[in-house]
Amino acid sequence: MIHIPPEPSGEGREAAGEIQRLLLFMPLKTNVYVDGFNLYYGCVKDTPYRWLDLAAFCARLLPNNQINHIRYFTALVTPRPDDPQQRTRQETYLRALRTIPNLSVYTSHFLASKVWMKRADRAGYVRVLKSEEKGSDVNLASALLIDCYRTDCDIAVIVSNDSDLAFPIEHLKRHLGKIIGIINPHKRPSRELFALANFFKSIRPSALAASQFPDKLSDALGDFHKPPSW
């Protein structure tokens, strides 16, 4: 689905005109910014498609784009007592992603705190351990802004449904005239992101199925394999 962007002002109008001229002569450099947890919990968790090759995924969803950089943002998980291999699986997947030459991984952390929350049956409160991802959205927004101001890309594609990213996206469109694409991992799109996108794509299971790493991979440290439970 294609959307017409709002008219940029100032230098943004000049930049938009330059992009239109470039369209006639060369493929536009595209950077892809992946919100790892938004992607995972939106369409990958509890599926057979967790061993996702993001280079193949981007090539399938953006077949006419010149993929310049893929930037993947996530937080390192703390294993739960009932799932002690959780961190090992995550690190194996990050190792797989690092075999992609034009992909960079950016990690942040989880903040765990004990909070009081109301019981589902409303019979008082219970104290629970709440984990919150800290830093990934800020890191993604910062990298997006830095790349666009450095003219590292002509098109920025964000794989996320997080409406907190609306402000930097609107800024880049208004002031730099950047073309913005949104790939939505969730069933329902964020209204804020949908309204800002020059183009918008949903993720189908068939695209995930066709974009899997081989079960066995190699890097400088040797061979490694897809986690058995995946």
The pLDDT tens digits along the chain (230 residues) read 444 445 555 566 666 666 555 555 667 899 999 999 999 999 999 999 999 999 999 999 999 999 999 999 999 988 888 888 999 999 999 999 999 999 999 998 766 566 777 777 777 787 775 656 666 899 999 999 999 999 999 999 999 999 999 999 999 999 999 999 999 999 999 999 999 999 999 999 999 999 999 999 999 999 999 999 99
The structural domains of the chain, with segments of one domain joined by +, span: 11-217
User: How far is 43 from 61, CA to CA, in rounded Å?
Assistant: 15
Instruction: Report the candidate in 67, 70, 49, 68 with the shortest Cα–Cα distance to residue 59.
Output: 67
User: How far is 3 from 221, CA to CA, in rounded Å?
Assistant: 45
Q: Which CATH superfamily is domain 11-217 in?
A: 5'-nuclease (3.40.50.1010)
Is this structure's pTM higher than 0.95? no
Instruction: Report the candidate in 129, 179, 139, 128 with the shortest Cα–Cα distance to residue 162.
Output: 139
pLDDT of residue 4: 46
pLDDT of residue 81: 82
